[in-house]
Amino acid sequence: MGPRATTLGIALGLWAAGGAGALELTLPQGATMTREVRRAAEAYLVPTDVYADGQIPAIDAEGFFLQQAWRLDAPGLTSLQLQRPLRRQIVEAGYSIMLDCAARECGGFDFRFNTPVLPAPDMFVDLRDYRFLSARKEGDDGVSDYVTVVVSQVSGSGYIQVIRLAQSEAATGNLSAEDGAAGPETVTTGAVPDAATGPLAERLTQAGHAVLSDLDFETGTVSLGPGPHPSLQALAAFLREDPERRVALVGHTDTVGTLENNTALSRRRAAAVLERLVSEYDIPRIQLEAEGMGYLAPVASNLTDAGREANRRVEAVLLNTE
């Protein structure tokens, strides 16, 4: 007998009295909501195809925005097994699937970091083991509702994010653009270590990524200080324990400057960390990748000095072994 199920229809769209036009989804018993973000007026680029030629083809939609994430114990279940029941329910609710792809097919790293995903510890995505789908339902008045689902299996836990963009009055209920954006309501389980604290090996194996918080770059440059850097020592030891382990080093910046310049800067900083691991710690290049996200994945507000400082970082992201 399969896992018991629980209906999460209220969480996924019963905004109007009586639930008119609502999308109800049923998840396995034990799924716990980790975060919810509601906004009365929001623009959302709904992906319609895989990442190619530096972009994700998308529909520029606007409406009531609801983003939610869940975590559940799912040992032995694949991302496909977690996604399949949700896909079936979305189709049964009258939605047409626009995109349904797996990690590498979607575009891997580039797709994941160019579509909105709630930050850790509320949502985790294994870059080599996730599934994404987007779907559209056209209303009688010609306007459409959209839903996107990201599902990933990380260290025995299943993570599910659903974004609902509703344009019909029935779906938005008594919230409207005049009400202004609703503040986010957050519930965090605390079951997964934060990416910036705790032993690095534990963060990589349980959370899937870890901030290398002791790196010192001169402002506006890619010059990594001489160290010592305990985070690099720990990362090198982690990689030596198993030559099959691979990590992506991902650079991030604050929002000062253009996206193009920040993306280039963040990638070069990640490359500098890679070169240090190779030259000083004798880590084989085959175990390392370097990428840059610029300011597209902040962990704090860019409106404060402390927030900008937190956003300027390099993270190690654990990749599946092959």
Q: Summarize pLDDT for 114-132 with one digit per residue, the tens.
A: 888 887 667 888 878 899 9
H or E element, residue 84: helix 79-92
* The last residue of a domain, from among 121, 151, 186: 186
Same domain, 281 and 168: no
The answer to whether position 192 is within a domain reads no
pTM over 0.75: no
Q: What is the rounded CA–CA span in Å between residue 284 and residue 55?
A: 31
At 222-280, the pLDDT tens digits run 888 888 889 999 999 999 999 989 999 999 988 888 888 988 999 999 999 999 999 99
Q: Are residues 219 and 153 both part of a single domain?
A: no
The residue among 9, 43, 46, 6 whose CA lies nearest residue 28 is 6
Q: Domain of 114? A: 5-186
Number of domains within the chain: 2
Q: 259 lies in a domain? A: yes
158 and 302, same domain (yes or no)? no
Residue 73 in domain:
yes
3-class DSSP state of 214:
coil
Domain ends where: 154, 186, 218?
186
Q: 125 and 21: one domain?
A: yes
Same domain, 169 and 250: no
Please tell me whether residues 96 and 151 are part of one structural domain. yes
Residues 171 and 39 reside in one and the same domain:
yes
Does residue 204 sit in the same domain as residue 270?
yes
Indicate if 177 and 275 belong to the same structural domain.
no
Among candidates 302, 303, 204, which has minimal Cα distance to 252? 302
Pick from 153-157, 163-167, 172-176: least confident: 172-176
One domain for residues 258 and 231: yes
Answer yes or no: is 128 within a domain. yes
Q: Do residue 169 and residue 256 come from a single domain?
A: no
Specify the range with the lowest mean pLDDT, choosing from 6-15, 67-76, 94-103, 270-279. 6-15
